[in-house]
Amino acid sequence: MNKVSTKILSLLGMVSTGLGFLGIFLPLLPTTPFLLLAAYCYARSDPKRYQMLLDNRWFGRYIRDYRVGRIRRRERQVTLLVMWLVIGAAAVYGFNSWWSRGLLLMFPAGVTLYLLRLETYVPEDGDSSV
């Protein structure tokens, strides 16, 4: 990969990490997709930042679990609950037509199906990454 591509991916990783961090506090801004995009960009451009993201005490476990195709039961439950509450409220109070509500609700329906297909990870008692 050339230097320009590396710099662009690194910059995109930084922006994605920042947006992912903001998504923790802003309910309509998704956290996970931005962090996964940041991990993808860093893995191809900046191994040091990639490792820092994986070692991060808040984000690292989610990214490592996702990389192997699993999710913890509690994380799935909280994600689905918050997503449906926020997007459901937006659909009910933010749109008047049935087709726009239906179109908006297709997003959480798709995410729900996807999350339900991921393997549920139950950490063992001695697992320190809980």
Residue 126 has pLDDT above 80, yes or no: no
Q: How high is the mean pLDDT of the chain?
A: 88
As a whole number of angstroms, the distance between CA 26 and CA 21 comes to: 9
Sequence-ordered alpha helix ranges (H) in the chain: 3-25, 32-45, 47-55, 60-67, 73-94, 98-117
**Which residue in the block uniquely carries the two structure tokens 């050339």?**
2
What are the extents of the domains in the chain? 1-68, 71-130
Report d(CA 7, CA 83) in Å as an integer.
34
Query: Angle 60-67/32-45 helices, nearest 10 degrees?
Result: 80
- pLDDT confidence of residue 127: 60
**pLDDT tens figures, 59-86:** 898 888 888 889 889 888 988 998 899 8
Question: Highest-confidence range of 7-11, 19-23, 27-31, 61-65, by mean pLDDT?
Answer: 7-11
Q: Which pTM value belongs to this model? A: 0.72
